[in-house]
Amino acid sequence: MTYRSSLPVVMAVVLSLAGCNLVPERTPVTLYELPAHSLDLSRHTEQRIEATLRLATPRASGLLDGSRILVVPLPNQPRAYEGARWADGMPQLIRNRLLDAFQDDGRITRLVHDDSAVSADVELLSDLRTFHSEYIDGLPVATLRLDAKLIDTRSQRLVASQRFVQQQRVESEAIPDVVEAFGMAADRLARELVDWTAAQIDRR
């Protein structure tokens, strides 16, 4: 009688210990903002463009529509850095960086984003195609690729389209250095896209 009554208690303790072992330990995650540096843009007050531009959040799919910091150590084999994530989704990071760049540039003063109900003359649509580091000659290279389209919102006519690609070699394999390189590549891409957009709208 004593043996039988104690058996369920012993089994309960064993099962509870086994259950504790099945729960994986959480890996600490560090969040990173996309670094922003001075674009060295003088405000073009004398070249203001009288058009309202809507800047849409870039479209993305798969791993690009998330917050993991991606690396491609081998061709066609994307992975994510362990214990590190972007503070926001990658499309939102690029949109916010472009918004800052347009505002710093100053030529297009009437600027709205896709969350706004304000009507616009031209809309900037884009597809985020690459946002990862890839290994070249033994070191990671931060790579960004964005396909952009300018649409006349009244006629729905395609005004212009352009692919923007920027790369920045990383000083080391450390994640903070990788993040810094992404920021530098994003700065150059933003500068190039702002100049292209202003030129296309000005001659529209």
CA distance 78 to 92: 21
- The percent of residues above 70 in pLDDT, for the chain, comes to 83
Domains parsed from the chain with CATH numbers: 31-202 (3.40.50.10610)
What H or E segment, with its residue span, contains residue 142? strand 139-152
**Rounded CA gap, 54 and 198, in Å?**
13
Q: Give the pLDDT of residue 42.
A: 54
Q: What is the pLDDT of residues 95-143, one digit of tens each?
A: 999 999 999 999 998 999 888 888 999 999 999 999 999 999 899 999 9
Stretches where the chain sits below pLDDT 70 are 1-26, 38-46
Query: What is the predicted pLDDT for the residue at 113?
Result: 86
User: What integer pLDDT is reported at residue 40 of this predicted model?
Assistant: 60
Tens-place pLDDT, residues 25-34: 567 899 999 9
How far apart, in whole angstroms, are the C-alpha atoms of residue 137 and residue 134? 10
